[in-house]
Amino acid sequence: MKRIFSRRITITVAIIFLTLGVKCQEKLANLDALTFSVPDDNDTVYFIKINKDVKTPKPTIVFCQGSLPIPLVIESADNSFFLPAINFDYSRLANRYNLIVISMPHIPVIAKQANLNNQFAFITNPADQHSFPKTYLEDDYLTKYVDRGNEVVNFLINQKWVEKDSIIVIGHSQGARVATKIAKTNKHIAALGLFSGDPLGRVTQNIRRIRLMQRQGQLTPSDAQAKINEIYIKWKQLNTDPELAKTSSITSFSEPLISDLLEIKIPIYVAYGTEDVAAEYCDLLPIDFIQNHKNNFKVVPYSGLEHNFMELDSLGNPDPSKFHWDEVFQEFINWLEEPDTLIR
């Protein structure tokens, strides 16, 4: 389960809609950002653009969130606001890049913290930490996220403030999987950045976590095997109907990405922490790339860091005071701006 650690910013929200055909943009006063909406068949895709400049063409980074129905902006009890999806210092990018963050399906752009659970996910019943909206659960599958991401990219390509040959898609955790599929299916993507992604998929990750607990003595071998056998049984049930499996969250996000990554021809950047069970296979990605004569990749492991690029304390728990997202993301930007990559 994804944990959210975000910088808080104080903003005042003023809702001012400007019609742009069937699209609209909403200004967030005192925050250097705009929100846009792109109508979909049964939902509206919202996204935030960091930086209100809509005149200067810039390279554009499209960020795909991880799992959980987390809103783009959260209003705290003290009436302050923060952006939960962005764990790095985006202010340093604003003058050189457009930074886009895409909403989750059927989740409000702005939500009060009272309407969220302890992981900032939007819920319908404060007494139930898992009371996610039914419409969100129905659309929480990979193809839906990819379609929504492509809607945003296809909108961006027609904006005068977007450099047409410099649209970069990136994703963290589950979002890395979404970003990969967007990069594979959309010809307008110039580079791909993956952070803490799992190339093998969610179901295998669950099995790996159980084996880790066994090795650490948290589970006996028999208990661990029993849990794994339960996964096998559920997995068989989920895959009895191939069409249903396509719109299932667990099955759609368990599809391995190795073949997709090998097919992608644009530059690929992979960053992960070596203490992150979800990203264990990233150590082996260079083997796949080299074996298939691919040279369009850079794989960067961060020793001792976990899923959100934090160090671990003496008990093996994430230490929020030792948070390295800024360094990780800056190294990605440095790579983008290398002569042989993309941004000149």
pLDDT digits (tens, 9 = 90+) for 39-54: 877 788 999 998 888 9
3-state class of 196 per DSSP? coil
Residue 31 pLDDT: 62
- Of 27 and 127, more confident: 127
Residue 244 pLDDT: 79
Residue 42 pLDDT: 77
Least confident of 77-86, 104-113, 244-253: 77-86
pLDDT bracket for residue 63 (50, 70, 90): very high
Determine the average pLDDT of the residues in 193-210.
Answer: 96
Residue 343 pLDDT: 54
Least confident of 6-15, 22-31, 219-228, 282-291: 6-15
3-state class of 340 per DSSP? coil
pLDDT score of 29 more than 90? no
Cβ neighbours for 234, distance < 8 A, ≥ 6 positions apart: none
Q: Residue 108 in contact with residue 71, Cβ under 8 Å?
A: yes
pLDDT bracket for residue 9 (50, 70, 90): very low
pLDDT score of 128 more than 50? yes
Q: Is the dihedral of CA 8, 12, 18, 21 positive or negative?
A: positive
3-state class of 202 per DSSP? helix
Q: Compute CA 315 distance to the chain's CA centroid, rounded to the nearest angstrom.
A: 28
pLDDT score of 277 more than 60? yes
Give the CA radius of gyration of the chain: 20
pLDDT score of 79 more than 80? no
CA gap 48, 175 in Å, rounded: 16
- Other C-beta atoms closer than 10 Å to the C-beta of 211 total 16
Q: Residue 238 in contact with residue 300, Cβ under 8 Å?
A: no
pLDDT score of 167 more than 50? yes
CA gap 86, 7 in Å, rounded: 8
Q: Residue 175 in contact with residue 84, Cβ under 8 Å?
A: no
Determine the average pLDDT of the residues in 126-150.
Answer: 93
Fold of 8-199+264-336: Rossmann fold (3.40.50)
Q: Residue 56 in contact with residue 46, Cβ under 8 Å?
A: no
CA gap 194, 189 in Å, rounded: 14
Least confident of 78-82, 116-120, 333-337: 78-82
The residue count of the chain comes to 344
pLDDT score of 3 more than 50? no
pLDDT bracket for residue 25 (50, 70, 90): low
Q: Residue 260 in contact with residue 181, Cβ under 8 Å?
A: yes
Using alpha carbons, select from 255, 285, 269, 32 the residue that is nearest to residue 170.
Answer: 269
Residue 198 pLDDT: 96
pLDDT score of 12 more than 50? no
Q: Residue 211 in contact with residue 277, Cβ under 8 Å?
A: no
pLDDT bracket for residue 196 (50, 70, 90): very high
Determine the average pLDDT of the residues in 165-173.
Answer: 96
Residue 28 pLDDT: 55
Q: Is 274 exposed, middle or buried (0-12, 13-18, 19+ CB in 10 A)?
A: middle
- Other C-beta atoms closer than 10 Å to the C-beta of 80 total 14
Secondary element (H or E) of residue 64: strand 58-64
Percentage of the residues of the chain whose pLDDT score is greater than 70: 90
What pLDDT digit, counting tens, does each position of 89-113 carry?
A: 888 888 899 999 999 999 999 899 8
Least confident of 39-43, 239-243, 277-281: 39-43
Query: What is the DSSP pairing of strand 8-9 with strand 81-82?
Result: antiparallel
Residue 40 pLDDT: 74
- Average pLDDT of the chain to the nearest whole number: 88
